[in-house]
Chain A
Amino acid sequence: MTQQVLNAIFIGSIYALFAVGYTLVFGVLDVLNLAHSAVFMLGAVITYSLVALHGMPFLPAAVIAVLVCGLLGLLIEFVALRPLRRRNAPPISALISTIGLALIFVAIVEQATPGTLFSWLWQDGANSVRFPAGTVPNPTYHIAGLTIEGTKLGILITSVVLMLVLGYVIRYTQVGRALRAVAENRRAATLLGINVDRVFASTLFLSSALGGLAGILFGLAISDISPYIGRDQVELKGLAVIVLGGMGSIPGAVVGGYLLGLIEVFALVRFGSNVEAGVAFAALFLVLVLRPQGLFGATLRERL
Chain B
Amino acid sequence: MDFFVQLFTNPVGFYNQHELLIAQIGINAILAIAIFVTFYSGQLTLANAGFMAIGAYTTVIMSLYLPTPLPVNMLAGALLAGLVSVVVGLPVLRLRGVFLAIATIGFVEALRLGVILNVPITGEGQGLHNPTADPLGGIVPILISLPILAYLVWRLTKTRLGQAWSAIREDELAASSNGINVPLYKMIAFIISAVLAGYAGALETHINFFVDPTEYGITRTIQILTFAVVGGTTNVFGPIVGAVFLTALPEIVRQFAAYRDVVNGVILILVIIFRPQGIVGRGGLAIIRPRWWIRWRARERPAAAH
Contacts and interface: CB of A to CB of B under 8 A. Distances in A.
B107 interface: yes
B225 A96 contact: yes
B96 interface: yes
A284 interface: yes
B38 to A, nearest CB: 13
Interface stretch (A2-10, A58-66, A81-89, A186-194): A81-89
B196 to A, nearest CB: 21
Contact of A92 (B98, B258, B290): B98
A239 B276 contact: no
A281 B268 contact: no
Interface of B is mostly: helix
A32 B102 contact: yes
Most buried by A among B92, B109, B287: B109
B11 interface: no
B304 interface: no
A97 interface: yes
A91 B103 contact: no
Contacts of B226: 99
Contact of A282 (B96, B110, B218, B264): B110
Contacts of B92: 288-289
A108 interface: yes
Contact of B102 (A93, A277, A282, A284): A284
Contact of A278 (B102, B113, B261): B113
Interface string B245-280: 000000000000011111011111100110010000
A107 interface: yes
A292 interface: yes
A249 B43 CA distance: 25
A266 interface: no
Nearest to A84: B273
Contacts of A239: 102, 105-106
B266 A100 contact: yes
A260 interface: no
Contact of B229 (A87, A96, A280): A96
Given A103-B262, A304-B96, A97 B268 contact: yes
Interface of A is mostly: helix
Contacts of B289: 86
B118 A92 contact: no
B124 A106 contact: no
Nearest to A197: B291
Nearest to A271: B118
Interface in A70-95: 79-80, 83-84, 86-87, 89-93, 95
Given A278-B113, A302-B99, A104 B106 contact: no
A303 interface: yes
B218 A279 contact: no
Given A100-B266, A103-B264, A106-B261, A93 B276 contact: yes
Interface residues of B, number: 51
Contacts of A302: 95-97, 99
B117 A278 contact: yes
B44 interface: yes
B106 A284 contact: yes
B302 interface: no
Contacts of A243: 102, 106
Nearest to A239: B102
Nearest to B258: A111
A129 interface: no
A277 B97 contact: no
B268 A96 contact: yes
A91 B110 contact: no
A103 B222 CA distance: 10
A99 B109 contact: no
A166 to B, nearest CB: 23
A185 interface: no
A90 B276 CA distance: 10
Contact of B222 (A83, A99, A279): A99
Contacts of A102: 265
B45 to A, nearest CB: 12
Contacts of A289: 91-92, 95, 103
Nearest to B108: A281
Contact of A99 (B99, B110, B225, B290): B225
B253 to A, nearest CB: 15
Interface of A: 32, 79-80, 83-84, 86-87, 89-93, 95-97, 99-104, 106-108, 110-111, 231, 235-236, 239-240, 243, 247, 274-275, 277-282, 284-285, 288-290, 292, 300, 302-304
Given A87-B286, A285-B106, A289-B103, 17 more contacts: A89-B272, A92-B101, A93-B272, A96-B225, A99-B226, A100-B266, A100-B267, A100-B269, A101-B269, A104-B266, A107-B261, A247-B99, A274-B124, A278-B109, A282-B114, A288-B102, A304-B97
22 contacts: A80-B269, A86-B290, A96-B268, A99-B222, A99-B265, A100-B272, A101-B269, A103-B268, A107-B260, A107-B261, A239-B105, A274-B118, A274-B124, A274-B125, A278-B110, A281-B107, A284-B102, A284-B106, A288-B92, A288-B95, A292-B95, A303-B97
